[in-house]
Structure 1
Amino acid sequence: MRVLILGGTAEARTLATLLAARPGLSVISSLAGRTSAPLLPPGEVRIGGFGGPAGLAGWLRASRVDAVVDATHPFAAVMSASAARACDDVGVPLLVLRRPGWTERDGDDWRRVPSIAAAAAVLPGTGRRALLTTGRQTLAAFAGLDEVWFLVRAVEPPEPPVPARMTLLLERGPFTIEGEEALLRAHRIDVVVTKDSGSPAVAAKLDAARLRRLPVVMVDRPPVSPGVPSVATARDAVAWVTGLPGAGVSPSGSGGA
């Protein structure tokens, strides 16, 4: 049985590790290729896009893929939509693996917004010195906000357009609460702008913002495609894969697994 994992997340790497250890399963992980040094999962890896839903559907047919797990970033809406359409066209089972989003706690001051554009719209009325961690591909939305100074944290350098008043910090998590609080204090940050990724590796900024009583502009996730089943953990995804007809193993690991 051939399983395609649309990856790029820690959950995708965990799933690839778990499935690769099971006999009777062939695992292929696909990465978008947007970072120069991605963290590679075990097993076969392909890097690059498919050319939209039609390209992905053709690749699924040619590669004789039996199941797809969409374990991309919660905000990879274009890829997720392409996967839903392609799998529907080809008749291949699709599962979405999404870690839970963050939950607001006592003392938090979150301003939830539906999009990056909405975050840019409310920001000038919320703060003047922002820690911006929405990703390098979102910076164009903030480029016209000359009244706001940005500390932009990203894994890779962004391409223009970017905010005129900006300092770039190239870092990859995990981060600590102590380190994040020191960062906010050193740069006199008065607002944090982020997406609800739910990643524990970068959640410390929310704890630091709570301790410093700072508002957080939180961009909500796009919804999962209608009709597509979804699970929250890699082990739940393993149970789904191994429960499919033709998997040759049971969710409990019997059948030689």
Structure 2
Amino acid sequence: MRRVLILGGTAEARALAAELSGRVHVVSSLAGRVRDPRLPVGEVHVGGFGGAEGLAAWLSAGRIDAVVDATHPFAARMTASAVEACRTTGTPLLVLRRPGWAHRPGWRQAGSLEEAARLLPSVGSRVFLTTGRRSMPVFAGLTDLWFLARSVDPPEPPIPVNFLILLARGPYTVEGERELIRAHGLDVLVTKDSGGALTVAKLDAFEEAGLPVVVVRRPPLPEGLVAVESVAAAAAWVHAV
């Protein structure tokens, strides 16, 4: 049975593992950054590989026939390591990325978290920050603003005094996001262009309220990669390789 490594941690990665189960031997890799992750079916590897060199050695030792990078659209470092490791070992590589969100009125585009932080003082003062716990230090210097920062796991201390941490995991509802806007007097949203339906409710709620949204654009994929946007297309590629 062919062996396929899915670099995962996303809903698409879990769905692909389920789709391929029983037809190929699937190993799903999770970075281990989430305390209580949703596990896919099949074999699971938790933790890093030691960069591109470590991943290449792991692919060879595990006799992996193909790799699907179904990591988060902003996991640029993991994607770069996968490209280098697969090139070294001659392993076929596919990128599975859900489509980004369509641009909406009231959006401000930012090319990075740092650019988003520079934009904020001119956009709002009570910020709904949904860019992940590891991004919070980028915004910590904006002491004149107040932040409601949502993440799955708690951020590393110290927590700035102008941050309120909300621990939650999607999917979210428009009604729930409306209540957060009302309860905390939020006047701007900062988010990454993650795409997908699990977290789109915040965009709907802020658009409905006529409030601005700062969206951090995705990092570009390395040139020459084969990429698809659906689980069905990824499964078809695996069977065709």
TM-score, structure 2 normalization: 0.98
How far the C-alpha of 1:163 sits from its partner, in A, is 3.5
**Counterpart Cα distance in 2 of 1:162 and 1:232:** 37
Please list the CA deviations of residues 135-171 of structure 1 after superposition, one character each: whole Å capped at 9, or x if unmatched: 0000110010001100000000001354430111000
Counterpart amino acid of residue 148 in structure 2: L
Question: Equivalent residue for 1:33?
Answer: 32
Match of 1:175 among 169, 172, 175: 172
Question: Equivalent residue for 1:89?
Answer: 88
Question: Equivalent residue for 2:11?
Answer: 10
Q: Is residue 137–residue 158 contact of structure 1 (8 Å, CA) maintained in 2?
A: yes
How far the C-alpha of 1:36 sits from its partner, in A, is 1.1
**Counterpart Cα distance in 2 of 1:163 and 1:211:** 30
> Mapping of 1:110-129 within 5 angstroms?
110-129=107-126
Pair 193,60 (structure 1): closer, same or farther in 2 beyond 3 Å? same
Pair 163,119 (structure 1): closer, same or farther in 2 beyond 3 Å? farther
Q: Does 1:101 align with 2:67?
A: no
Q: Does 1:156 align with 2:153?
A: yes
Q: Is residue 145–residue 163 contact of structure 1 (8 Å, CA) maintained in 2?
A: no
Number of positions where the alignment pairs a residue of Structure 1 with one of Structure 2: 240
**Counterpart Cα distance in 2 of 1:241 and 1:226:** 21
Moved runs in structure 1, 4+ residues, more than 4 A? none
Pair 118,163 (structure 1): closer, same or farther in 2 beyond 3 Å? farther
**Counterpart Cα distance in 2 of 1:21 and 1:161:** 46
How far the C-alpha of 1:186 sits from its partner, in A, is 1.0
Q: Does 1:136 align with 2:136?
A: no
**Counterpart Cα distance in 2 of 1:209 and 1:169:** 18
**Counterpart Cα distance in 2 of 1:44 and 1:225:** 28
Unaligned runs of 5+ in 2: none
Please list the CA deviations of residues 92-118 of structure 1 after superposition, one character each: whole Å capped at 9, or x if unmatched: 00000000000024xx30000011111
**Counterpart Cα distance in 1 of 2:94 and 2:192:** 23
**Counterpart Cα distance in 1 of 2:214 and 2:160:** 17
How far the C-alpha of 1:225 sits from its partner, in A, is 1.4
SS of alignment partner, residue 167 of structure 1: strand
Counterpart amino acid of residue 238 in structure 1: A
> Mapping of 1:190-205 within 5 angstroms?
190-205=187-202
Please list the CA deviations of residues 181-235 of structure 1 after superposition, one character each: whole Å capped at 9, or x if unmatched: 1111110001000000002111000000001111000000011111110000111
Q: Does 1:228 align with 2:228?
A: no
Counterpart amino acid of residue 202 in structure 1: T
Unaligned runs of 5+ in 1: 245-257
Counterpart amino acid of residue 4 in structure 1: L
Counterpart amino acid of residue 232 in structure 1: E
Question: Equivalent residue for 1:44?
Answer: 43
> Mapping of 1:49-68 within 5 angstroms?
49-68=48-67
Q: CA RMSD in A?
A: 0.9
